[in-house]
Structure 1
């Protein structure tokens, strides 16, 4: 398949304009290395998806959440990453490299027709996490096109009452969501059964996750960033403790 570029560059560090780059480096956090780390943990061959990082996982790597949110927005506005809804019924948002998302949609939808329309029109002109019917009409998408994108999971219903706005989603993401939610629950149970509902991180990493195809470290970032686990530094190493939100 001939690769069609949806953006000028897929490199986080090199793709930002001077003004956006300045905004992305404001605050104490610089999320580029954090994103690369989270993407490296994602088992692409297992789920047949591009590397996915959850937005809140970045909070496990940086304490300044305002700075993280600011940098995510800067990267999204620049077209380097896509901020996407993980699922219609999920509260989580995920981050995928824009070029990889473009390539993935092209492989799902095929070249020509709707696939080309999405990669050459929608992705190049809409960098937001959602899109309205009016905007899709402006971009020459018919009702049939929209229905096709909904059935394939590219668009998710945002406004249930009117059906006139859509979240941008990831086709074929359901197996990942199942592993994420099951692993999240199992890890909470493992730590919850320990004394004082806390465990050293190294001991948690030695556990086997039988219900999830994601690495335990990915789940740790999910739970810490989602405020379901608290990380405490000790002389014996990082301690992971269940928070009040999980009780």
Structure 2
């Protein structure tokens, strides 16, 4: 087992098993319980990084970057919490993109500044990408593994080829399928790791070291990339957002789940509910798990989680009351 796997496993154990992790106490921490819990978690993470087992573990590492806490949390949200245990078939049929929101990570990790720094580093390395999705606030960004996004480009290419062979896109028969390969090369260029790109830049992109052909695009090709969900025209600027395919289906179910949880809290006279009672309620308007949506509410400041003697309490905030 390499260092990355050790650290990720130790972190997941901490999140799942420590009931006080990421929870703010209802009363002042006069006895230092919170400090001791924080110190205990820190020691666990440090111990996981020390490689105190087999010395040959360093040889298995092969120079791979250690997964940061923020990226490990993103993986945990996507792979473990995104879908209910019985909802895999429905989500697979919808082909929802494997993404989470950065503010969901805030609901698990205490240090938002450290989260931003670690995510920015992962983006700089090109291993993860950040996206703006329509229907979200300006500061709510989605996060996706670059490998998954490249696979999404491949899926778009296959769909394009099927449409051409079936005669659906007769007007696009003159477009070379190399378009999608050029777009992949663009995505792997560190100059294009941002959430958006200027239209003029795409029309006159400079050659990459891996290709003798200019990786630039025509207006018709850009229109096709928009058609297949890989680009989204910017509303105010002469530019494009890098887009996630089927984001409309994703956001429709996501917002429905958010509204459903908010309605439950708003109907309560005290605007709060014990989490064990909330967990017992079945969400009927979304395909996502209640945990995935709850991390959205807490991370975005629409709700707060408090630790009480009777269990965790979820309380509606002013932001949650005003908006949805």
If the length of structure 2 is used for normalisation, what is the TM-score? 0.64
Alignment of 1:114-193 (within 5 A): 114-119=179-184, 121-125=185-189, 126-137=192-203, 138=205, 139-158=215-234, 160-162=235-237, 164-193=238-267
Would the aligned equivalents of 1:16 and 1:78 in 2 still touch at CA under 8 Å? no
Would the aligned equivalents of 1:49 and 1:104 in 2 still touch at CA under 8 Å? no
Number of residue pairs aligned between Structure 1 and Structure 2: 225
Tell me by how many angstroms 1:15 deviates.
Answer: 10
Q: Root-mean-square deviation (CA), in Å?
A: 2.4
Tell me by how many angstroms 1:42 deviates.
Answer: 2.5
Alpha-carbon separation, structure 2, partners of 1:233 and 1:60: 14
Q: Which runs of 5+ in 1 are unaligned?
A: 1-10
Would the aligned equivalents of 1:31 and 1:68 in 2 still touch at CA under 8 Å? yes
Alpha-carbon separation, structure 1, partners of 2:277 and 2:179: 49
Residue 293 of structure 2: which of 214, 219, 228 is its match? 219
1:103 partnered with 2:151: yes
Pair 16,161 (structure 1): closer, same or farther in 2 beyond 3 Å? farther
Would the aligned equivalents of 1:46 and 1:213 in 2 still touch at CA under 8 Å? no
Tell me by how many angstroms 1:185 deviates.
Answer: 0.7
Residue 80 of structure 1: which of 127, 145, 149 is its match? 127
Q: Which runs of 5+ in 2 are unaligned?
A: 9-60, 84-90, 162-176, 206-214
Moved over 4 A (4+): 11-18
Structure with larger Rg: 2
SS in 1 for 2:270: helix
- My pick for the range that moved more, 212-221 or 147-156, is 147-156
Pair 84,36 (structure 1): closer, same or farther in 2 beyond 3 Å? same
Would the aligned equivalents of 2:97 and 2:245 in 1 still touch at CA under 8 Å? no
1:134-188 superposed Cα distances (whole Å, 9 cap, x missing partner): 3212131111111111222211122x345x2111111112111111111111101
Pair 227,46 (structure 1): closer, same or farther in 2 beyond 3 Å? farther
Alpha-carbon separation, structure 2, partners of 1:221 and 1:161: 31
1:47-106 superposed Cα distances (whole Å, 9 cap, x missing partner): 31342111111110112111111111111111111111222x432321111101101121
Pair 180,144 (structure 1): closer, same or farther in 2 beyond 3 Å? same
Tell me by how many angstroms 1:16 deviates.
Answer: 8.6
SS in 1 for 2:283: coil
Report what 2:178 is aligned to: 113
Tell me by how many angstroms 1:194 deviates.
Answer: 2.1
